[in-house]
Amino acid sequence: MEKKDEELIQSLLSHDAELRRYYEEHLELERRLSEFNRRAYLTPEQEIEKKQIQKVKLSGKDRIMEILDKHRGTGRAASA
């Protein structure tokens, strides 16, 4: 994610429970993928798990971006 997205996320975490849930899940999935990426070899089962994690992470990131867009829209409307 871009730095400005990260900054917005940090400012909203205490106010938006849904965003906090998706962001925490995103960080956990990122950590798990890092573990897979450090291994020289993955079993077929681990490859499947890695692919599933990548799909869930991407879906969660899409939802995070939707939530951020909603907040950006609210912020623009409030300042107009």
Q: Which domain holds residue 24?
A: 3-79
Query: Taking a C-beta distance cutoff of 8 angstroms, is the pair 19, 64 a contact?
Result: yes
- Give the other-Cβ count within 10 Å of 49's Cβ: 14
Angle CA 63–68–73, to nearest 5: 125
Average pLDDT of 34-39? 96
Residue 73 has pLDDT above 90, yes or no: no
User: How many alpha carbons lie under 13 Å from residue 30 in its C-beta half-sphere?
Assistant: 9
Give the confidence band of 75 by pLDDT, cuts at 50, 70, 90: low
Measured torsion, CA atoms of residues 51, 57, 60, 62, in degrees rounded to the nearest 10: -90
For residue 20 the two structure tokens come to: 């906090």
pLDDT > 70 fraction of the chain, expressed in percent and rounded: 91
**Global pTM?**
0.81
Q: Could you read off the pLDDT of 1-31 as tens digits, one per residue? A: 788 889 999 999 999 999 999 999 999 999 9
